[in-house]
Amino acid sequence: MKLFSGRGIVMHTLALSFACVGVTAVHAGEIQQPPAAKPVPGKVEIADGPFKPTWDSLKQYKCPDWFRDAKLGIWGILTPQSLPEAGDWYARAMYEQGQGQYNYHVAHYGHPSVFGYKDLAAMWKLEKFDPDRLMGLYKKTGAKYFVVLANHHDNWDNWSSKYHRWNSVNLGPKRDIVGLWAKAARKHGLRFGVTEHVARSYSWFNTNKGHDKDGPLAGVPYDGNDPKFQDLYFPPHEDSSYAYPANPPEWWPRQWYWRIRDLIDTYHPDLMYSDGAVPFGEVGRSLCAHFYNANMAWHGGKLEAVYNLKDMSPRTDHGEYVDGIGVQDVERGMLNGIKAEPWQTDTCIGNWFYKTGLQYKPALQVICMLCDIVSKNGNLLLNIPLKHDGTLDVEEEKVLADLGAWMAVNGEAIYGTRPWKVLGEGRPQGSGNLNEDRQPYGAEDIRFTTKGDALYALVLGWPKDGMARVRSLASRAGKITKVSLLGHSGELKWTQAEAGLEVQLPAKRPSEHALALKISGHQLQPVPVNHGT
């Protein structure tokens, strides 16, 4: 610490040099200190109710129908990491010499010994943020629920956090981001949820304790070494992994618990997402039990809560996963078959955090992913990255408009549906966490959903010859009595033969991208095909 406290001349020289090249450099410690936070209670407590912090008790969980019926959610991600518009994990990489974001930070803001993350947070203003307008767009897109990133691994809270002073009300935008999103979601009739990622901050964000290994500033400590800001940057320790901290001090899981409990108790979300499995043993199980019990109290004894968690096995450094205690989430990937219980994919059309110049997933890919996921009993939570000022760019709004146009025609085959006996035909498109299959879908890729007596065949590409073919519904599948095309009011010509159901499609497409056939029949049973069953 001696080097840090005695570096005033070095810091002054750096600030002058940055100013000469047009970069604003703010000295460490010159920002206005946020007001003190409320002390964290000395022990963990949970709301009264049937759920206790044990696996057996949490296995009582049953997924609510609202989530099973919703199918599509939108995710809003903003923190001070949004300001540079330089992509994901900025708060970590800005303190790693040689990383692209470190280079960007030095070039645009200054050296991290002078201008650190606390200074970036103070500069972030979110000046064009209009959650009401955005929620209107999301509703028109077809989303039935919205979730907000309440905090990330950068140890920053997006609400008026009782137990953590580094938050969006005290500093930066000086706005209650979570509260504004919650108000907008409920105004537009969407279910509201929150995502929390802060459990791993203790390790992930510890790069701020470093220093350059070479170059003119080798050995000059980054601003994370300054003891005045340890409640943001953490006290000195050795764990800098990106997983959950291996051996955190007792106070950290307890602070995590009370910060997320404050979030839950203040905004009453119906969905909570942890970026991993359950952290911190009994403390993590206590938070889950509290969320369920509190949610039941808000809803007159009915459980409407969804807790998303990830199965990262065989890895054990991302928490404990026990199937059935909540709703499984698969990050940037899918399951390869029908799961008996509801689940969710979360993905993004670009980076999680906005990155200038990135090429996005087109609406066609998103629609085909949605059909695949829903056929397997899943939901899609889609992030549309927000710019630093809280707006979307033109290309992002086009993806939303195209998705919304398709959902307006074909939503009947998505909302409120359940899987059929097989997921479909063609490539199964399943690969697990962080391994999205980028192979294109086509007319030979078909996904099934059901609702009441109706069977829907979602054909994930327009056949070149105008003839949709469903091999699973050959004559041996049982007698088909009616076939129609969503968005088309006229009669269709179709035949059911030994090779499959063949449907002559109209010349005019009712919507771009995938199409949805609505099929009626008597006790239909799928005929086995070579793949995708």
Residue 375 lies in a domain: no
Smallest CA-to-CA distance from 483 within 471, 501, 463 is with: 501
* pLDDT value, residue 145: 99
Q: How far apart are CA 87 and CA 149, in angstroms?
A: 15
Strands 424-425 and 446-451, sheet pairing: antiparallel
Pair of tokens at residue 235: 């006290």
Smallest CA-to-CA distance from 355 within 69, 43, 90 is with: 90
Are 437 and 291 members of one domain? no
Among 284, 312, 331, identify where a domain stops. Answer: 331
Are 282 and 161 members of one domain? yes
Are 312 and 435 members of one domain? no
Are 326 and 440 members of one domain? no
Q: What is the DSSP track for 165-225? A: S-BTTTSTT-S-HHHHHHHHHHHTT-EEEEEE-GGGHHHHGGGGG-B-SSSTTTTPBPGGG
Measured CA distances, 246 to 181, 203, 283, 288, 400 (Å): 34, 8, 15, 21, 40
pLDDT, tens digit, for every residue of 6-26?
333 344 334 333 333 333 444
* pLDDT value, residue 429: 67
pLDDT, tens digit, for every residue of 457-477?
999 999 999 999 999 999 999
Residue 334 contacts by C-beta under 8 Å, 6 or more apart in sequence?
A: 345, 369, 372, 373, 376, 378, 429, 430, 431, 432, 436, 437
Smallest CA-to-CA distance from 175 within 195, 160, 190 is with: 160
**Average pLDDT for the chain:** 93
Q: What is the DSSP track for 466-499? A: SEEEEGGGSGGG--EEEEEETT--S--EEEEETT
Are 457 and 321 members of one domain? no
Among 305, 331, 357, identify where a domain stops. Answer: 331
* pLDDT value, residue 27: 46
Are 327 and 429 members of one domain? no
- Cβ neighbour number for residue 495 with a 10 Å cutoff: 13
Are 7 and 120 members of one domain? yes
Q: How far apart are CA 177 and CA 185, in angstroms?
A: 12
Q: Which CATH number do you get for residue 458? A: 2.60.40.1180
Among 279, 306, 331, identify where a domain stops. Answer: 331
pLDDT, tens digit, for every residue of 112-139?
999 999 999 999 999 999 999 999 999 9
Measured CA distances, 2 to 7, 95, 220, 227 (Å): 9, 20, 11, 12
Q: Which CATH number do you get for residue 166? A: 3.20.20.80
Are 153 and 276 members of one domain? yes
DSSP bridge partners of 517: 457, 485
Contact between residue 185 and residue 311 where contact means Cβ atoms under 8 Å apart: no
Q: pTM value?
A: 0.94
Residue 152 lies in a domain: yes
Residue 452 lies in a domain: yes
Contact between residue 117 and residue 93 where contact means Cβ atoms under 8 Å apart: no
Contact between residue 167 and residue 120 where contact means Cβ atoms under 8 Å apart: no
Confidence band (pLDDT; 50, 70, 90) for 434?
low
Total domains in the chain come to 2
Are 131 and 250 members of one domain? yes
Residue 216 contacts by C-beta under 8 Å, 6 or more apart in sequence?
A: none
Residue 462 lies in a domain: yes
What is the residue range of 507's domain? 424-521
Are 141 and 254 members of one domain? yes
Residue 437 lies in a domain: yes
Are 429 and 319 members of one domain? no
Residue 399 lies in a domain: no
Residue 168 lies in a domain: yes
Residue 363 lies in a domain: no
Are 102 and 238 members of one domain? yes
Range of weakest confidence among 31-35, 210-214, 394-398, 457-461: 31-35
Q: How far apart are CA 463 and CA 453, in angstroms?
A: 26
